[in-house]
Amino acid sequence: MKTVIRKLVFYAGQVIRFIYYSFLRFNGVEIGKNTFISLGAKIDTQFGKVVIGDNVHITSGCVLLAHDGALKQMDPSANPRGKIVVENNVFIGVNSVVLMNVTIGENSVIGAGSIVNKDIPKNSLAIGNPAKVIRSLE
């Protein structure tokens, strides 16, 4: 009986994830192949552009924010819409925040709780607030 319930829960989760990914794609988020986005992650679908590559893992509590409402309040002529690009084979740790106009290079890891406010080069491990590259992964 436990096996049947586990399978039902697993398949229900797959259906929910399919609906979530479809919602994101419908709202303009580009999602690559074999990419995992936790249901607890929040991805900006209202303003700006988000592009997520292949084999990306975005964990629970992550926020990808492609706009800045405060910028518009301070300078009405400023463009508060930006773009986030997460290239292939990237892992973004729990509760990390990726801000607008950032590119995370391929084969990179973002440590848990990091605030990414500038580009991260490929093959890098970045952690902290603000996120800093601490070593190369080559």
Is 57 an active-site residue?
no
Using the 8-state DSSP alphabet, how is residue 46 labeled? S
- Cα separation, 81 vs 63, whole angstroms: 16
Cβ within 8 Å of residue 7, ≥6 positions away: none
Alpha helices in 54-134 (DSSP H): 69-74
Q: Catalytic residue, from 52, 67, 85, 131: name it.
A: 67
Indicate which residues carry an active-site annotation: 67
